[in-house]
């Protein structure tokens, strides 16, 4: 019997790609979106309304979910967004929304489903993090903070759910071609002292994502996590992901100088 899998944020990006791939493989797939009516006619899987930044939406979703399925085998936490901007130029209200969505929204939805997983004594919780949850880069302080927070929370949860035969793991993609940047929320409080640096950083970021690879390795890794009996916790994905992670820990100056050099090669 094929597993039933819930994929949050399944109307675009990694969520849409993995939900489609899982459906093609014969899994029962339920996706979520804040506006499912905009996408449902184009999708081969059921899409339910969910806004993970809204507590009431999470509560009502939990009730509706089990009207459509009888068993949940895998939760793939994917919903979230990218807040782009220098740390000082980012309004605190924007930063709070980033954490409320990416971290707290993911945690609240997971917590709603934990009693179900504990009761059935099996399942998987897979969370789509980011390489920015293992390192940090300029222009994404709050995004990195939200992803670092997810790493800490789910690492602890992995220990706590072992006795219930529920596996917890994360995937940390590098930059891949998705709509994450085009759909990003942008910092609103520009400070003149940063004008030159901001322009260089914008050129660097644009160039980085313009040349980003297709997200096939991310989808392949997610499929392996669904199929694997007891996957490990961390799964960095992308060219050089593991090396970059190691550099930041064991050769930070080299890592830092490399980032600074790549940014400064762009004229303002």
d(CA 170, CA 156) in angstroms, rounded, equals: 12
Dihedrals φ, ψ of 160, to 5°?
A: -70, -25
Catalytic residues: 143
d(CA 255, CA 262) in angstroms, rounded, equals: 11
d(CA 175, CA 131) in angstroms, rounded, equals: 8
DSSP label of 213: P
d(CA 163, CA 180) in angstroms, rounded, equals: 36
**What residues form DSSP beta bridges with 84?**
186
d(CA 151, CA 114) in angstroms, rounded, equals: 18
Helix H or strand E segment including 88: none
* C-alpha to C-alpha distances, 250 to 19, 22, 138, 254, 261, nearest whole angstrom: 37, 38, 20, 9, 19
d(CA 7, CA 104) in angstroms, rounded, equals: 17
DSSP string, 50-92: --TT-HHHHHHHHHHHHHH-S---EEEE-----EEB-TTTS-H
CA 52 to chain centroid, in Å, comes to 13
Residues contacting 129, CB < 8 A, separation 6+ = 147, 150, 151, 170, 171, 172
> What does the block give as tokens for 54?
């809204």
């Amino acid at each position: 019997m094929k597993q039933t899998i819930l994929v949050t944020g399944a109307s675009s990006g990694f969520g849409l790609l993995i939900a489609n791939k899982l459906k093609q493989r014969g899994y029962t797939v339920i996706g979520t979106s804040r506006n499912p009516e905009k996408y449902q006619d184009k999708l081969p899987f059921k899409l339910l309304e969910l806004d993970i930044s809204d507590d009431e939406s999470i509560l009502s979703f939990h009730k509706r979910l089990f009207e459509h399925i009888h068993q949940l085998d895998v939760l793939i936490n994917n919903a979230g967004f990218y807040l782009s901007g220098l740390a000082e130029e980012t309004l605190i209200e924007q930063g709070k929304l980033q954490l409320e969505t990416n971290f707290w929204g993911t945690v609240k939805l997971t917590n709603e489903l934990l009693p179900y997983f504990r009761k059935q004594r099996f399942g998987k919780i897979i969370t789509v993090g980011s390489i920015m949850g293992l390192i940090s880069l300029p222009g994404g302080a709050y995004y990195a903070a939200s992803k670092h927070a997810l790493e800490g929370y789910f690492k602890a949860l992995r220990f706590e759910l072992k006795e219930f035969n529920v596996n917890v793991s994360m995937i940390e993609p590098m930059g891949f071609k998705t709509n994450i940047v085009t759909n990003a929320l942008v910092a609103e409080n520009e400070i003149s002292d940063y004008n030159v640096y901001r322009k260089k950083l914008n050129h660097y970021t644009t160039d980085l994502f313009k040349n980003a690879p297709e997200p096939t390795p991310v989808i392949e890794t997610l499929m392996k996590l669904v199929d694997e009996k007891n996957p490990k916790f961390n799964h960095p994905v992308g060219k050089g992901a593991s090396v970059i992670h190691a550099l930041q820990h064991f050769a930070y100056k080299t890592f830092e100088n490399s980032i600074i050099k790549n940014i400064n090669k762009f004229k303002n």
